[in-house]
Amino acid sequence: MGAEKKYKQEQYVTEELDYVKVIESKSFKKLMHDRKKFTIPLTIFFLVFYFMLPILTSYTTFLNTPAIGDISWVWLFALAQFVMTWVLCTIYVKKAAGFDKQADQIIKEMEQGGDGR
């Protein structure tokens, strides 16, 4: 991987990098913005989806109505938790590949300009 070679070379660069300049650079700010836009809504979503289950089972009974034969809605909701986990994992991997590219670009800029501009 090209990026890895870069990391290794960087170990031998002794001068201190100005990290404050890096975090203020356009490309880094864009990475942070994209990350936040992706991570925060989905984290809120999966936590809400998760807590819906104990909240609904504790305070209501409508999940106890049958859905398919003797399988009630509560089991389907529980199964949906598993499906959600796997779907979010898959989405995360796809999205993270894009972040990786952005991060590689930032490291490249840091090495060239020293400040990620």
Partner 1 sequence: MSPTVIILFLAIVLLTLVITFFAARKTQTAGDFYTAGGGLTGTQNGLAIAGDYLSAASFLGIAGAIALFGFDGFFYSIGFLIAYLVVLFLVAEPLRNLGKYTLADMINSRFDARKVRGAAALNTITISTFYMIAQLVGAGALIQLLFGIDYWLAVLIVGVMMTTYVLFGGMIATSWVQIVKAVLLMAGMVIMAFLVLLKFNFNIGQMFTEVKSVTTHGAAYLMPGLQYTEPLGTLSLMLALVLGTAGLPHILMRFFTVKDARTARKSVITATWIIGLFYILTLFLGFGAAAFVGYETIIAANPGGNMAAPLLAQAIGGDLLFAFISAVAFATILAVVAGLVLAGASAFAHDLYGQIIKKGKASESEQVKAARYASLAVSVLSIVLALFAQYLNVAFLVSLAFCIAASANLPVILYTVYWKRFNTAGAVTAMLTGLLSALILVSLSPSVFSPIEGAALFVGEPIFPLANPALVSVPLGFLGGYVGTILSKESNLKRYAEVKVKANTGYKSSGANH
Dist CA 68 CA 79 (whole Å) = 13
* Helices (runs of H) and strands (runs of E) counted in the chain: 4, 2
Q: Does 70 bind partner 1 (CB under 8 A)?
A: yes
Among 26, 29, 30, 32, binds partner 1 (CB under 8 A): 32
Dist CA 3 CA 10 (whole Å) = 11
Residues 26 and 102: beta-carbon distance below 8 Å:
no
Among 89, 98, 101, 112, binds partner 1 (CB under 8 A): 89
Helix (H) or strand (E) run with residue 72 in it:
strand 71-72
Among 37, 81, 112, 113, binds partner 1 (CB under 8 A): 81
Tokens at residue 13, please?
């660069």
Instruction: Name the residues that contact partner 1, by CB under 8 A.
Output: 4, 7-8, 10-11, 19-20, 22-23, 28, 31-32, 35, 39, 42-43, 46-47, 50-51, 53-55, 57-59, 63-64, 68-72, 74-75, 78, 81-82, 85-86, 88-89, 92-93, 96, 100, 103-104, 106-107, 110
